[in-house]
């Protein structure tokens, strides 16, 4: 249980809030790179409570600037791009990706306003088929080259979930909440056999990028070995997971980014990577992407899907779950640990320190692979793959 103030402290995402300042230390995905095309080079995006416009100029460079034009506030989302930047649809002011105003067509050539006007703008980088943005202070850290984003020997694709009506922390607490597996997913998953039988053997091991989760399932009969399943929560807002395809039996690694849109909305991007002896996908390539709807046409949750079962639980907890009236039990020790970590890291940023998992060393960032194991689906040692 938290006080109302503690709950706000952990969940707010806006600029200047404690949690919002922590989140701004990390690169966040904003869209699949393949979504911006020559025909449709502009997309309005909302992230961390800020309304922005993402664009691709005609040279292929990306920019992310505040949505409202600094002249008289029209939306740049309806603007036009050229080889230098984006132009407002109303009176034609033009902005570079740096935010610098480049043209004010109706003003005298030598107007001093031109130098002075600078639209808020953020750096954008592309990796693993996603465009990532950094909304924090300088110096800008490296965009982490996590395995699922940077691996090349296989194929990659992205699901873009419908925006969820809940705060991002609800999604992250779910990733350190093992007792829900046996109920929420018990009807569809391999755990059906054990519905309701919460088993001991869940560990949460803090490591340099977050929390490594390890489940050890006891042997079913004497002489059998215990079965290990381990994968990390990448602090603050990503889950690294693995599953086996029902269609072709292949191992599918994934990264689930739970991106805060604002205090009460969350956008989930799931990047999949399926290793393959024959296929190649460069880390800088656009990849296929598709919408993933958590509700059907009647507005009902598609509860036969594991990811929807989770989304249903997060949304029904409320826009921001009221943690002042909850009751944590002993099986919630992972949730308690995650909250402690979040609180500590927010406090670290407030003191001017660097939070957990920021990458600044290019050597380390060549490829960051994780020790993901899932013996149940036949993944008994972590997969590794040199970058070609
Ligand atoms: S409102 Fe954008 S140029 Fe006038
Ligand atoms: Fe779940």
What domains does the chain contain, in order, with CATH numbers?
Answer: 30-133 (2.102.10.10), 147-377 (3.90.380)
Least distant ligand from the CA of 94: 1
Among candidate residues 237, 267, 229, the one with its CA nearest the CA of residue 342: 237
Q: Is the pLDDT of residue 331 over 80?
A: yes
pLDDT tens-digit readout, 337-383: 999 999 999 999 999 999 999 999 999 999 999 999 999 899 999 98
Ligand 2 ion: nearby residues, β-carbon < 5 Å: 310
Confidence of residue 200 (pLDDT cuts 50, 70, 90): low
Q: Is the pLDDT of residue 148 over 50?
A: yes
> Can you give the pLDDT at residue 388?
40
Residue of 67, 71, 101, 119 to test ligand 1 pocket, by largest number of atoms within 8 Å of CB: 71
Least distant ligand from the CA of 310: 2
Please tell me the pTM assigned to this model: 0.96
Q: Residue 94 C-alpha to ligand 1 middle, in angstroms?
A: 9
Q: What is the CA radius of gyration of the chain?
A: 22
**Stretch 205-219: mean pLDDT, rounded?**
93
> Can you give the pLDDT at residue 190?
60
**Stretch 249-275: mean pLDDT, rounded?**
97
Confidence of residue 242 (pLDDT cuts 50, 70, 90): very high
Q: Residue 220 C-alpha to ligand 2 middle, in angstroms?
A: 24
Residue owning the nearest CA to atom 1 of ligand 1: 72
Among candidate residues 98, 78, 102, 81, the one with its CA nearest the CA of residue 90: 78
Q: Is the pLDDT of residue 193 over 90?
A: no
Q: Is the pLDDT of residue 244 over 70?
A: yes
Ligand 1, closest atom to CA 88? 2
**Stretch 110-139: mean pLDDT, rounded?**
98
Q: Is the pLDDT of residue 124 over 50?
A: yes
**Stretch 162-191: mean pLDDT, rounded?**
89
> Can you give the pLDDT at residue 368?
97
Separation CA 175–CA 1 (nearest Å): 18
Confidence of residue 182 (pLDDT cuts 50, 70, 90): confident
Please report the DSSP string for 88-140 in residue order. -TTT--EE-TT-BEEE-TTS-TT-THHHH-B--EE-EEEETTEEEE--SPSSP
> Can you give the pLDDT at residue 154?
96
Least distant ligand from the CA of 184: 2
Q: Who has greater pLDDT, 186 or 278?
A: 278
> Can you give the pLDDT at residue 221?
83
Q: Is the pLDDT of residue 191 over 90?
A: no
In this structure, of 50-64, 102-116, 192-206, the range with the lowest mean pLDDT score is 192-206
pLDDT tens-digit readout, 47-95: 999 999 999 999 999 999 999 999 999 999 999 999 999 999 999 999 9
Ligand 1 is surrounded, with C-beta below 6 A, by 69, 71-72, 74, 88, 90-93
**Stretch 150-168: mean pLDDT, rounded?**
97
In this structure, of 16-25, 194-203, 352-361, the range with the lowest mean pLDDT score is 194-203
Q: Is the pLDDT of residue 386 over 60?
A: no
Burial 139-167 (b: 16+ CB within 10 A, else e): eebebbbbbbbbbbbbbbbbbbbeebebb
> Can you give the pLDDT at residue 222?
86
> Can you give the pLDDT at residue 201?
86
Q: Is the pLDDT of residue 192 over 60?
A: no
Question: Which alpha helices (DSSP H) does 175-227 contain, by range?
Answer: none
> Can you give the pLDDT at residue 315?
98
Count of residues making up the chain? 388
Ligand 1, closest atom to CA 72? 1
Q: Residue 211 C-alpha to ligand 2 middle, in angstroms?
A: 16
Do 147 and 254 touch, CB atoms closer than 8 A? no
Q: Is the pLDDT of residue 195 over 60?
A: no
Considering the chain, what percentage of its residues have pLDDT values greater than 70?
Answer: 96
- Alpha-carbon 128 to chain mean position: 13
Residue owning the nearest CA to atom 3 of ligand 1: 91
């Amino acid at each position: 249980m938290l006080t109302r103030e503690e709950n706000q402290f952990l969940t707010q995402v806006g600029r200047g809030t404690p949690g919002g300042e922590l989140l701004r230390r990390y690169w966040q995905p904003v869209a699949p790179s393949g979504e911006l095309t020559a025909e449709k080079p502009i997309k309005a995006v909302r992230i961390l409570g800020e309304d922005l416009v993402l664009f691709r100029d005609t040279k292929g460079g990306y920019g992310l600037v505040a949505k409202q034009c600094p002249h008289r506030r029209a939306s740049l989302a309806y603007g036009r791009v050229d080889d230098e930047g984006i132009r407002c649809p109303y009176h034609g002011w033009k902005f570079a990706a740096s935010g610098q105003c480049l043209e004010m067509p109706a003003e005298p050539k030598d107007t001093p306003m031109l130098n002075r006007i600078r639209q808020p703008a953020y750096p954008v980088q592309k990796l693993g088929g996603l465009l990532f943005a950094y909304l924090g202070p300088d110096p800008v850290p490296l965009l982490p080259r996590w395995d699922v984003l940077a691996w090349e020997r296989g194929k990659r694709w992205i699901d873009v979930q419908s925006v969820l009506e809940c705060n991002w922390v609800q999604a992250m607490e779910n990733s350190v909440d093992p007792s829900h597996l046996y109920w929420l997913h018990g009807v569809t998953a391999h755990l059906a056999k054990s519905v309701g039988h919460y088993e001991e053997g869940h560990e949460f091991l803090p490591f340099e990028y977050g929390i490594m989760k390890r489940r050890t399932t006891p042997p079913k009969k004497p002489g059998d070995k215990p079965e290990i399943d381990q994968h990390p929560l990448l602090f603050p807002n990503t889950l690294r997971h693995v599953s086996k395809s029902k269609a072709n039996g292949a191992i599918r690694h994934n990264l689930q980014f739970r991106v805060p849109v604002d205090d009460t909305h969350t956008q989930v991007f799931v990047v999949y990577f399926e290793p393959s002896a024959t296929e190649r996908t460069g880390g800088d390539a656009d990849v296929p992407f598709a919408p993933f709807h958590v509700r059907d046409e009647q507005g009902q949750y598609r509860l036969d899907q594991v990811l929807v079962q989770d989304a249903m639980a997060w949304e029904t907890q409320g826009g921001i779950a009221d943690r002042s009236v909850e009751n944590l039990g002993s099986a919630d020790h992972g949730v308690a640990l995650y909250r402690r970590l979040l609180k500590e890291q927010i406090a670290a940023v407030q003191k001017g320190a660097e939070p957990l998992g920021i990458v600044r060393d290019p050597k380390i960032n060549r490829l960051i692979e994780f020790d993901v194991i899932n013996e149940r689906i036949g993944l008994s040692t972590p997969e590794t793959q040199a970058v070609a």
